[in-house]
A and B are shown apart, each in its own frame.
Chain A
Amino acid sequence: GQQLNQSPQSMFIQEGEDVSMNCTSSSIFNTWLWYKQEPGEGPVLLIALYKAGELTSNGRLTAQFGITRKDSFLNISASIPSDVGIYFCAGTGANSKLTFGKGITLSVRP
């Protein structure tokens, strides 16, 4: 089946730094979504991408839908302590099913 690869499993950065997360797939996706999840809560949508090459920003977050439709990245600029959480990429293929990566746990040192 379709799989999304996110690595590393954890990232540690200093407050104020920028961080970039990548997500790759061996198959083509039609949409890419980035979610953030905090303990005990459901994933919260950060950015949705619908076209290959699309670059979208949401405040300090920027994400791009790769030209090949097999990858996407998320950038967080000027990180703050509340950016801590698990960041998931997710995508849909030919059907409506949303496939998730395993997530990256982000820690921000003050």
Chain B
Amino acid sequence: DTGVSQNPRHKITKRGQNVTFRCDPISEHNRLYWYRQTLGQGPEFLTYFQNEAQLEKSRLLSDRFSAERPKGSFSTLEIQRTEQGDSAMYLCASSFGQGDYTFGSGTRLTVV
């Protein structure tokens, strides 16, 4: 297993466009998490899945954000009508139960 994989690594988009990020977790991990990190801050929780069920969403996740994990394996995070304030590093992590959380390398989003 190559760990948690995120694509793309970098994304530059114009304000108002939609973007979608993908996360492939470690295969035997049943939980998958999305975090957002801005400069000088620690990662902030957005949402998490146990298998295909989305169990919790942060207030940070406005209705322009949607996440899916349709078959309990990979997940996508979509941001609609992007705003400059959405510029951040989007991190995905996976775990088995409440075990060690392994993070991917992240997707750096820049909204211009």
Q: Which residue among A4, A44, A97, A99 has the maximum number of chain B CB atoms within 10 Å of its CB?
A: A97
CB-based nearest A residue for B45: A97
With A42-B105, A42-B106, A96-B48 in contact, do A33 and B41 touch (Cβ < 8 Å)? no
CB-based nearest A residue for B46: A97
Segment at the B interface, from A51-59, A62-70, A100-108: A100-108
- Chain A's interface size range is 20 to 34
Q: Decide if A42 touches B91 in the complex (CB within 8 Å).
A: yes
16 contacting pairs across A/B (C-beta < 8 A): A30-B98, A40-B106, A42-B6, A42-B91, A42-B104, A42-B106, A43-B91, A48-B100, A96-B31, A96-B33, A97-B56, A98-B33, A100-B43, A102-B40, A103-B41, A103-B42
Q: CB-CB < 8 A to A102: which residues of B? A: 40-42
CA distance A96 to B106 in the complex (A): 20
Chain A CB within 8 A of B102 CB: yes
Chain B CB within 8 A of A76 CB: no
* Of the residues B40, B91, B100, contact of A33 by C-beta under 8 Å: B100
* Of the residues A44, A96, A97, contact of B103 by C-beta under 8 Å: A44
Chain A CB within 8 A of B108 CB: yes
